[in-house]
Amino acid sequence: MSEVRKGGLNPSGMSHDNSKPPRRMMIFVVTIFLIACLVALAFTWMRHPGEPDKTSPAATTEQTR
């Protein structure tokens, strides 16, 4: 007959009492996500700084076209 062990090794080789991911891994994933969001915001802000000035020559030439 086969014997069922509690608290044995998982297939990954680590023993866990529950199946929830470790807290450190969740913090790592959230940190990477927040850094990616900040990079995306910085890129968007640099590429699209805002509305052009109405007194600038580029804005007047675009209006005449």
pLDDT tens-digit map of 7-25 = 555 556 666 566 667 889 9
Given a contact cutoff of 8 angstroms between Cβ atoms, the answer to whether 18 and 24 are in contact is no
Number of Cβ atoms within 10 Å of the Cβ of 10? 9
What predicted TM-score, i.e. pTM, was given to this entire model? 0.46
In the chain, domain spans: 22-47
pLDDT tens-digit map of 48-62 = 767 766 776 655 555
Euclidean distance between CA atoms 56 and 13, whole angstroms:
66
CA angle, residues 16, 22, 28, in degrees to nearest 5: 160
What's the Cα-to-Cα distance from 65 to each of 50, 59, 60, rounded to whole Å? 21, 10, 9
